[in-house]
Amino acid sequence: MQTSYFSTNGRWLLVVLLLLAVAPIGCRQSVRMSEAAAAGSTVDESGKIPAKSFFGNPLFSQVKLSPNGRRVAVLLSRNESEAILSIDLQTGERVGLALLERSDASHSLASLRLSRMGWASDDTVVMSMSKAGSARGIKIRSTVLFASDVRNPRAIALGEDWPYASFKQFQDLIIDYLPDEPDRIMVNWFGAARLVEVSASRLRASIIERKGVGGWGTDHKHKVRVGFSGQRYNTEFGVWGRVTEDDRIERLVKWDPLSVDETGMGFYFAGFSDDPKIIYVFSERETGRFALYEFDLQAKKMGRLVFGHPKYEVDSINTSAVDGRLLAVHYTGKKSLVHFVDDEYRRLWEPIHEQFAGSTVTVVSTDLRETRSIFAVSASDEPPTYYLLNHRSGASKRLFRARPTLDGQILSKMEPIEYRARDGLMIEGYVTRPSGVTGPSAAIVMPHGGPFVRDVSGWDPVVQFLVSRGFTVLQPNYRGSTGYGRKFREAGYKQFGRAMQDDITDGVRWLIDQGIADPARIGIYGGSYGGYAALQGLVSTPDLYAAGASYAGFTDVVRLLNDESVYGYDAANKVLIGSRWTDRDFLAEISPAFHADKIRVPVLLAHGTDDPTVHIRHTDGMATALEEAGAEFELYRYFGETHGFLDERSRIDFYQKLGDFFERHLHPNPAHIARPVKMAGAAR
């Protein structure tokens, strides 16, 4: 047994949001900066690409255009600090709007983080800061709002005097930044019941009160016309709507997304159209896969099918900020794809997609007049790079690279695969192999969390890091994964540790049969549900794996469902997992903590001490069970971390330990380990 408490003593010398006034970022200065130098070294002491290159905070992120398209705001992270900059795209002038400085780098964990931002006007950026807190003895994260103006850059706290401010967990549930009203933004305030407008100093007006409405949507004219919500402690979902802001808002649908009765199928709100009587919704009622439909608010009935794919589900849509017309529909097959609806939009963006063929192009931000856009280009072997597109000329130029230390490094492409499970169901997934590998290699299967989500082809730092260490990585979209339709999703209901686990096992056996994986050197790793699946794999197929690791995985399903603060939805649990009242024996059978004596290989366990989603007692209980069974294991407890890492130092530390763990036990071929290319820092 090896136990580590990732913590070093220290204290904050300075934790404050303030005007950034120090070089090299500067305030009202035009600065040229080496991205690579700012991000750090490209080689670690072992001669490999360092974990920090994959898991440190991205150098640039959250890139947003101002409403007039003149400025861009960006979050810059480096040297234990996060800063928000405004950059004038015409003059190059940079203004530091706010800095979250962690002056004492030895402090155990960063409890504060800049989490969201947007332009409230052409000159003012609204940002939120995430911080640790507690409610009724439960550790939580909460957010507070700040604003800073380019003309007078100093971060001012908002909402300190709002009603119930001391009880409200989130201030940054922003519905609309209201760019035409520079003194206001629109937020969801105090739970599901109230929608308010907020100025920089006080609560301005209550607009709508509707019990059970948790989210709101505004159209391209910034009018509130749709509400949507699920009900606590049951599985009902509702959508409300109206044609004009003067109309009374009425319920459009009330349905149970988990019902197996197809006559009860409803829809989710997707977006507004250019016709106030029509909204777009996602529904699976006709094809069993979520497709895009029109819904008539006046007649209160479903309209025509706009777009649906014969195999995959629709993800999202783009609409115009100028007139509200539908521009494009997005869906995910073996990779992310776009279906253009508007011809003008197609003429603008199709050449960009062709220019970056093989990569994913994502529109990040567009000004209100639709003259400029920021878009990101990424791929499975390419971290995001941000570009500025001029709509009139069609010309684009690079702005920022998220991870410049990985530029030019030898990374690997995800390859889509499919295999047949033991009961005949086809399972899709992805395999990523080290560069130049042809025969069987050390491999790691990485089941996704959720579990009712899916893996997609794209930039995944965990995959690329493990591949750089010489491992082939398999990501199976086992039954229950979303994106493949209702029947595939429902095939995973009440199949934790059973058919869902069999799909993962069958994927590993497929790797072996295809000559991709060495059967003596296979590991399994995941986080959250993926962590559970990793441990359950070690229990149910003890001879298949040589090592396994779990981050924040639950290990006792009965205990999980007994956690009223998160999973006390028995109506949903009966359908998805099982009842904590009537299925306790079955749930115990699929709980790894009750079967640690079956595990025969080394295990790595890690968990954040402040995880509100899966309590750390799941990992502690697993560690106790492994110790009593005499198993070999390592335990790492990350103080202050939640369900996922907040502090890049703990994230880097964990994945470095994870890579070392699998290298010790799976013995990858040294020739398969990526050797970094040293890059000279070139000025941007």
Q: Which tops the pLDDT comparison, 2 or 553?
A: 553
| Predicted local distance difference test score (pLDDT) of residue 601 | 98
Angle at 399 between CA 42 and CA 44, to 5 degrees: 5
DSSP string, 144-195: EEEEEETTEEEEEE--TTSTTTTT-SBS--EEE--TTSTT-EEEE-STTSEE
| Predicted local distance difference test score (pLDDT) of residue 113 | 80
Burial class of 543 by CB neighbour count within 10 A (0 to 12, 13 to 18, 19+): exposed
For residue 589, pLDDT beyond 90: yes
| Predicted local distance difference test score (pLDDT) of residue 9 | 26
pLDDT tier at 107 (50, 70, 90 boundaries)?
very low
What is the SS3 assignment for 447-463? Answer: CCCCCCCCCCCCCCHHH
Lowest-pLDDT range of 111-115, 177-181, 347-351: 111-115
Lowest-pLDDT range of 111-120, 324-333, 467-476, 511-520: 111-120
Lowest-pLDDT range of 325-329, 546-550, 564-568: 564-568
Query: Amino acid identity of 604?
Result: L
Q: CA torsion angle for 554, 556, 561, 566 (degrees, to 10)?
A: -30
| Predicted local distance difference test score (pLDDT) of residue 102 | 67
pLDDT tier at 129 (50, 70, 90 boundaries)?
confident
Map tokens 């360092």 to a residue: 50
Burial class of 13 by CB neighbour count within 10 A (0 to 12, 13 to 18, 19+): exposed
Lowest-pLDDT range of 4-8, 118-122, 164-168, 484-488: 4-8
What is the rounded CA–CA span in Å between residue 676 and residue 405?
A: 10
Burial class of 330 by CB neighbour count within 10 A (0 to 12, 13 to 18, 19+): middle
Domain ranges of the chain: 1-157, 414-556+591-668
Lowest-pLDDT range of 189-203, 277-291, 436-450, 497-511: 189-203
What is the rounded CA–CA span in Å between residue 513 and residue 598?
A: 25
Q: What is the pLDDT of residues 275-323, one digit of tens each?
A: 999 999 999 988 899 999 999 999 999 999 999 999 999 999 999 999 9
| Predicted local distance difference test score (pLDDT) of residue 206 | 52
| Predicted local distance difference test score (pLDDT) of residue 173 | 85
Most confident residue range from 37-46, 223-232, 438-447: 438-447
What is the rounded CA–CA span in Å between residue 467 and residue 473?
A: 7
Lowest-pLDDT range of 221-230, 459-468, 501-510: 221-230
- Single pTM value for the model: 0.90
- Nearest C-alpha neighbor of 266 from the set 277, 253, 279: 253
Query: Amino acid identity of 321?
Result: A
pLDDT tier at 493 (50, 70, 90 boundaries)?
very high
Kind and range of the H or E element at 488?
Answer: helix 486-490
Report CA-CA distances (Å) from 611 to 227, 565, 616. 30, 12, 7
Count of positions (residues) in the chain: 684
| Predicted local distance difference test score (pLDDT) of residue 257 | 86
**Which letter does DSSP use for residue 29 in this model?**
B
| Predicted local distance difference test score (pLDDT) of residue 20 | 29
What is the torsional sign of CA 238, 239, 245, 246? negative
Radius of gyration of the chain (CA): 25
**Which letter does DSSP use for residue 335 in this model?**
S
What is the rounded CA–CA span in Å between residue 106 and residue 10?
A: 6
- Nearest C-alpha neighbor of 373 from the set 354, 401, 345: 345
Superfamily covering domain 414-556+591-668: Alpha/Beta hydrolase fold, catalytic domain (3.40.50.1820)
For residue 218, pLDDT beyond 70: yes
- Nearest C-alpha neighbor of 425 from the set 504, 475, 493, 479: 479
What is the rounded CA–CA span in Å between residue 549 and residue 527?
A: 9
What is the rounded CA–CA span in Å between residue 664 and residue 448?
A: 24
For residue 109, pLDDT beyond 60: no
Structure tokens given for 283 = 């529904």
| Predicted local distance difference test score (pLDDT) of residue 100 | 84
Q: What are phi and psi of 428, to 5 degrees?
A: -95, 165
The sheet with strand 185-188 has its strands ordered as 174-176, 185-188, 194-198, 203-209
3-state secondary structure of 602: coil
For residue 587, pLDDT beyond 90: yes
What is the rounded CA–CA span in Å between residue 166 and residue 159?
A: 10
Mean pLDDT of all residues in 574-588: 90
Most confident residue range from 32-46, 205-219, 427-441: 427-441
| Predicted local distance difference test score (pLDDT) of residue 11 | 22
| Predicted local distance difference test score (pLDDT) of residue 200 | 53
Q: Judge if the upstream peptide bond of residue 451 is cis by omega within 30 degrees of 0.
A: yes
Q: What is the mean pLDDT of the chain?
A: 86
For residue 439, pLDDT beyond 50: yes
Burial class of 487 by CB neighbour count within 10 A (0 to 12, 13 to 18, 19+): exposed
What is the rounded CA–CA span in Å between residue 207 and residue 214?
A: 14
pLDDT tier at 2 (50, 70, 90 boundaries)?
very low
What is the rounded CA–CA span in Å between residue 545 and residue 551?
A: 17
What is the rounded CA–CA span in Å between residue 375 and residue 397?
A: 10
Lowest-pLDDT range of 111-125, 254-268, 371-385, 662-676: 254-268
Query: Amino acid identity of 487?
Result: K
pLDDT tier at 181 (50, 70, 90 boundaries)?
confident
3-state secondary structure of 59: coil
What is the rounded CA–CA span in Å between residue 329 and residue 324?
A: 14
pLDDT tier at 421 (50, 70, 90 boundaries)?
very high
For residue 16, pLDDT beyond 50: no
Most confident residue range from 191-205, 505-519, 577-591: 505-519
| Predicted local distance difference test score (pLDDT) of residue 204 | 55
For residue 478, pLDDT beyond 80: yes
| Predicted local distance difference test score (pLDDT) of residue 338 | 96
pLDDT tier at 594 (50, 70, 90 boundaries)?
very high
pLDDT tier at 519 (50, 70, 90 boundaries)?
very high
Kind and range of the H or E element at 268?
Answer: strand 268-272
The answer for 178, left when phi > 0, alpha when psi is -120 to 50, beta otherwise, is: left
| Predicted local distance difference test score (pLDDT) of residue 406 | 94
